[in-house]
C-alpha cells in the first residue's frame, strides 16, 4: 500500500486536491479552487481552432499538474511518484476521459469501482486512477458513490440497519438507497442548480440576496426558510416560486429573508416525498455549506427522530477516505 496519495475530488463547479498520509489518514497539504469541470471544459471548448492546440485530456492534466506543483512547493519531500486518485465529473463526457458507469448494485467496500489508469507522462509524472460513477436504469451519479465508500469506512455503525437512505445535498442532490452495504437505487434532485439559476438568472434574481454558506441564520431568515418549507408541502412548486416575486413587490420579506424563503421552497420540495412515507433510517450526509439548512428542514418536517446526522467535517473528508479504499483494491 502506498504511504501517500493525492486525493482529487473534481466536481462540476469545484476542485479539491489533498496530499494524504494513507497510514495515519492525515491531510498534509491541499489545494482548492472553483475551477471545476464545467470551467475547464467550457474554456477549452470555446477556444478558437488556432488556440485549441491541446486535447481536452491535456487541458485537464495541465490544470491538475499546476495544483500538484503548488502542493509540492509547500512540502519537504518529493511527491513525484505519489499516485493520484480522481473521482467526480472528471470521468464524465466533458471531463478528462469518459469512463463507463458501474451498474447497480454497487458494494460500498471499494471493490466494485470502475477505474481507468492514466500512466505517467512528461506532462504529468504521476499514475492517475480515474474513478467512474454509478448508474441505475434511469439515473446516474459521479462522486457521491466514492464519498459513501469513504463514509462506510469511517462510520461502519450507520450501516447496521438493513435499509438506509443517505441524503447527499449538492448541485444535484442525491437520495441513495442502501441495503446491507450496497447501493441498490438512487434518485437525483436538481435542487442546488435550480436555486442558482433562479437566484442569479431569472426574473426573481432581483428579489433575493444572500449566502447559502451561512452557518447561522437570523430569526427572520429562519422564519422565512420555514415558511418556504411549509408552502412547498401543500402548493404547486411552479406557483409557489412566483410568491418569491410577490414577497418582494409587496415588501412582505426583505431580499435577504426572501433568499431563504426560496431555499426553503426548493429543499422542502426535494424532501416532500420522504416526509410522507417511512423508508427505513435516514442519514443526512451534508457538507458544511448547506448542512444547517437541510438539518432545519428535516427538523421542521418532523423527520429528525429517524435521522442520523453525519458531522460536516466527516463528509468533507469522505471522498479521500473512499480514494484510500479504492486504491487498496487497485494496488493489492
Q: What's the pTM value of the predicted model, to 2 decimals?
A: 0.92
Half-sphere exposure of 118 (CA within 13 A, CB side): 24
Handedness of CA 268, 273, 277, 283 (dihedral sign): negative
CA distances from 96 to 22, 88, 116, 246, 293 (A): 25, 11, 11, 44, 33
Shared fold status for 4-155+315-331 and 191-309: yes
Pick 191-309's CATH classification: 3.40.50.740, 3.50.50.60, 3.30.420.310, 3.20.20.70.
3.30.420.310
CA distance 269 to 299: 15
**Cβ-based neighbour number of residue 295 at 10 Å:** 16
DSSP 8-state class, residue 155: -
Taken as a whole, the chain contains a residue count of 332
Q: Which fold has domain 4-155+315-331?
A: Nucleotidyltransferase; domain 5 (3.30.420)
Q: Provide the β-strand partners of residue 182.
A: 107, 179
pLDDT tens across the length of the chain (332 residues)? 579 999 999 998 899 999 999 999 999 999 999 999 999 999 999 876 556 668 999 999 999 999 999 999 999 999 999 999 999 999 999 999 999 999 999 999 999 999 999 999 988 999 999 999 999 999 999 999 999 999 999 987 666 667 899 999 988 999 999 998 999 999 999 999 999 999 999 999 999 999 876 678 999 999 999 999 999 998 899 999 999 999 999 999 999 999 999 999 999 999 998 876 655 789 999 876 788 899 999 999 999 888 999 988 899 999 999 999 999 988 75
CA distance 229 to 220: 14
- Nearby residues of 176 by Cβ (< 8 Å), 6 or more positions away: 141, 144, 145, 148, 165, 166, 167, 168, 183, 185, 186
Q: Report which of 79, 67, 80, 78 is spatially closest to residue 16, judged by C-alpha positions.
A: 67
Ordered by start, the domain boundaries in the chain are 4-155+315-331, 191-309
- Cis peptide preceding 105, ω within 30 of 0: yes
CA distance 317 to 75: 20
Amino acid at each position: 500500500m502506498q504511504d501517500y496519495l493525492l486525493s482529487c475530488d473534481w466536481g462540476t463547479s469545484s476542485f479539491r486536491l489533498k496530499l494524504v498520509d494513507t497510514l495515519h489518514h492525515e491531510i498534509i497539504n491541499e489545494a482548492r479552487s472553483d475551477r471545476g469541470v464545467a470551467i475547464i471544459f467550457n474554456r477549452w471548448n470555446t477556444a478558437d481552432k488556432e488556440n485549441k492546440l491541446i486535447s481536452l485530456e491535456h487541458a485537464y492534466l495541465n490544470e491538475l499538474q499546476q495544483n500538484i506543483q503548488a502542493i509540492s512547493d509547500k512540502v519537504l519531500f518529493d511527491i513525484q511518484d505519489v499516485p493520484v486518485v480522481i473521482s467526480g465529473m472528471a470521468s464524465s463526457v466533458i471531463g478528462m476521459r469518459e469512463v463507463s458507469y458501474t451498474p447497480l448494485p454497487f458494494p460500498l467496500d471499494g471493490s466494485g469501482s470502475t477505474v481507468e489508469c492514466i500512466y505517467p507522462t512528461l506532462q504529468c509524472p504521476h499514475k492517475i486512477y480515474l474513478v467512474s460513477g454509478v448508474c441505475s436504469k434511469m439515473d446516474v451519479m459521479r462522486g457521491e458513490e466514492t464519498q459513501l465508500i469513504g463514509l462506510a469506512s469511517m462510520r461502519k455503525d450507520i450501516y447496521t440497519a438493513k435499509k438506509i437512505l443517505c441524503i447527499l445535498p449538492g448541485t444535484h442532490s442525491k437520495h441513495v438507497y442502501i441495503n446491507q452495504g450496497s447501493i441498490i437505487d438512487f434518485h437525483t434532485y436538481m435542487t442546488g442548480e435550480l436555486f442558482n439559476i433562479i437566484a442569479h438568472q431569472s426574473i426573481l434574481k432581483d428579489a433575493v440576496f444572500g449566502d447559502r454558506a451561512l452557518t447561522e441564520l437570523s430569526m427572520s431568515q429562519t422564519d422565512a426558510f420555514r415558511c418556504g418549507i411549509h408552502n412547498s408541502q401543500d402548493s404547486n412548486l411552479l406557483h409557489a416560486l412566483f410568491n418569491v416575486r410577490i414577497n418582494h413587490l409587496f415588501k412582505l420579506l426583505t431580499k435577504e429573508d426572501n433568499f431563504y424563503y426560496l431555499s426553503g421552497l426548493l429543499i422542502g420540495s426535494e424532501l416532500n416525498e420522504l416526509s410522507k412515507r417511512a423508508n427505513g433510517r435516514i442519514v443526512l450526509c451534508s457538507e458544511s455549506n448547506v448542512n444547517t439548512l437541510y438539518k432545519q428542514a428535516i427538523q421542521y418536517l418532523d423527520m429528525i427522530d429517524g435521522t442520523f446526522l453525519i458531522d460536516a467535517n466527516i463528509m468533507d473528508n469522505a471522498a479521500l477516505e473512499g480514494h484510500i479504499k479504492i486504491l487498496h483494491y487497485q494496488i493489492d
